[in-house]
Amino acid sequence: MDKIGALKQTLQQAELKAKRRTEIDLGKVNDEEAKANEQGFMIVRKRQRAVNQTRFSQTIDENIAYLCQTQYLTSAEFSFIFTLAPMLKMNVNAIVDPVSGQYCSVSEIAAYLKRSRQKTSEMISVLIEKGIMYEFANVHELKIHGRHVTRRPFFLNPEILCCGDKNRLQSGIVQLMIHHNILERARVKLPIKAIVEPHSQYGKLVKRKKFLEVLKQQKGK
């Protein structure tokens, strides 16, 4: 390289350093990036990875094993529960139409599962009695009309099959489960339980010991 070429390179490096120093003074780059540039390196920002949108449901294995050993559920009831997995709404566990996202009626659940409406209705009723499924009924509708007028949502107990993040459960369904406490009253002591801790926006699944501690604290208030 001739002297003129070397001089140009030196001037370019000096200009680059001066520019970077100006940017530092203006708060455009941080000290780590400036030091890297001075040493002839360049910091390349990593691209954020795309969030995986694949739907999934988690079986709560300890609870499944417990229910099998205690024979609380029949094979037919287990089969019905698992066929509902594609219909569960993420982090809510409501039973919805996979395409529209709308709450499903008994007839729509039956149609999706290719089952008879009568058998589907009977199965849902049994699972509600056992605390495996829940439904939100509009009390005002029942008082005024004597029957359900609007569609009432069904939910699957997330302690059995949980769609989404087990630390971000919809608090309403968890509070409903704790309020009715059907499994506990039936002396079905699942190893993993759902709770809503004080001042928490979401429910979550925890070990039974933690569940009992939270219940004790709430009763003591």
Concatenating the DSSP letter of every residue in 108-121 gives HHHHHHT--HHHHH
Can you say how many angstroms the Cα of residue 162 is from the centroid of all Cα atoms in its chain? 8
Shortest CA distance to 82 belongs to which of 70, 101, 67?
Answer: 67
pLDDT tens by residue, 55-104: 668 999 999 999 999 999 999 999 999 999 999 998 899 999 999 999 99
pTM of the model: 0.70
pLDDT tens by residue, 163-203: 989 999 989 889 889 888 899 999 999 999 999 988 889 99
Work out whether strand 161-163 and strand 192-195 pair parallel, antiparallel, or are unpaired: unpaired
CA atoms within 13 A on the CB side of 71: 0
Report which DSSP code applies to 95. Answer: B
Cα 207 to Cα 190: distance, rounded to the nearest angstrom: 9
Which whole-number Å values give the CA distances from 220 to 56, 109, 116, 175, 212, in the listed order? 38, 41, 47, 17, 12
